[in-house]
Amino acid sequence: MITLHGFAQSGNTFKVAFMLRALGQRFETRFVDFMHGVTRTPEWRGATNEMGEVPVLDDGTRRLTQSGVILTYLAGKHGRFLGASDDERFEALRWLFFDNHKLTSYFASYRFMKAFGPTAPDPAVMAWLKGRLDNAFGIVDRHLQGSTFLVGNQPSIADFSLSGYLFYPIEESGYDFPSRFPQVGAWVERLRALPGWADPYTVLPGERIAPKW
């Protein structure tokens, strides 16, 4: 049995859930109470992930962390979404690394501060993050001009990775990417139409929380 550890607000967990569903794989979820600091406890880090992060995937006795590693593992195991050639596989990994550094990390931080942080966001920090986001979304938008998916003509691990946070309500981040980056908006709609897609709040465990700020 496959177990996916995570929580509803975690787009990094959703990347994996979406791909598992697209692969038609059954899995169970295990709620991790990130909002109350569980991933920061020595107990959780000792027992589950020394890096203090979800998602964590258990596939039988194998435990994996880092969404990019998990997506790559699942793609190899099932022979899907990895890319059709060596060039495509390297290209998919290139976008995965870009995502982890430049898109998901900034978007997740921006949304967390805007919606779920313990105190009101600092405008200077938000302005800096928004500049980083504008740059990253601009790069993806240009890349998607004239291409259906990020790599080749088929969905790949790159699509699951970069889109993970983009299916949550816009009001959580306040970052209206579909209006400002129409190619990204149209690509997200194409992904939403793939078999297996479902709303993160129906797929992942934990309570939905109204944006705080």
Please state the closest distance from residue 66 (CB atom) to ligand GSH, in A. Answer: 5
- 29 in helix, strand or coil? strand
> Is residue 39 part of the contact set for ligand GSH (CB under 6 A)?
yes
Please state the closest distance from residue 105 (CB atom) to ligand GSH, in A. Answer: 7
Are 104 and 161 a contacting pair, CB within 8 Å? yes
> Is residue 29 part of the contact set for ligand GSH (CB under 6 A)?
no
Are 213 and 171 a contacting pair, CB within 8 Å? no
Are 145 and 183 a contacting pair, CB within 8 Å? yes
Q: Residues in the chain, how many?
A: 213
Among 3, 31, 41, 52, binds ligand GSH (CB under 6 A): 52
Query: In whole angstroms, how large is the CA radius of gyration of the chain?
Result: 17
List residues bridging with 29 in a β-sheet. 4
Round to whole Å and give the CA distance between 121 and 110: 9
Among 24, 28, 33, 40, binds ligand GSH (CB under 6 A): 40
Among 29, 66, 72, 156, binds ligand GSH (CB under 6 A): 66
| Pairing status of strand 2-6 against strand 28-31 | parallel
> Is residue 12 part of the contact set for ligand GSH (CB under 6 A)?
yes
Among 20, 68, 81, 155, binds ligand GSH (CB under 6 A): 68
Site map 92..111 versus ligand GSH, x via CB under 6 A: --------x-------x---
Q: Which residues bind ligand GSH (CB under 6 A)?
A: 10, 12, 34, 39-40, 52-55, 66-68, 100, 108
